[in-house]
Amino acid sequence: MAPHRSGIKCGSLIRDLRRRNGLGQAELARLVGTEQPAISRIERDLVSPSLDTLHRIFEAMQLTFVLQPVRLQDRVPDGGNQSIAELRSDFRDLTAEERLAQAAQLSEATTELASSAGP
Q: DSSP letters of 85-101? A: HHHHHHHHTS-HHHHHH
What superfamily in CATH does domain 8-67 come from? lambda repressor-like DNA-binding domains (1.10.260.40)
Name the residue among 95, 110, 80 with its Cα closest to residue 15: 110
Q: Per-domain residue ranges for the chain? A: 8-67, 70-114
User: In Å, how far from its chain's centre is CA 109?
Assistant: 13
The letter for the amino acid at 41 is R
HSE (CB half, 13 Å, CA atoms) of 24? 5
Give the pLDDT confidence score for residue 79 in this predicted structure.
67
Question: d(Cα 88, Cα 52) in Å, to the nearest integer?
Answer: 27
81: which DSSP letter? S
Q: Give the pLDDT of the chain (119 residues) as one tens digit per residue.
A: 344 455 668 899 999 999 999 999 999 999 999 999 999 999 999 998 988 999 999 999 999 888 778 777 777 666 666 676 777 777 778 888 888 888 888 888 778 777 776 65
The number of angstroms, rounded, from the C-alpha of 99 to the middle of its chain's C-alpha atoms is 16
Task: Report the predicted TM-score, pTM, of the whole model to 2 decimal places.
Answer: 0.59
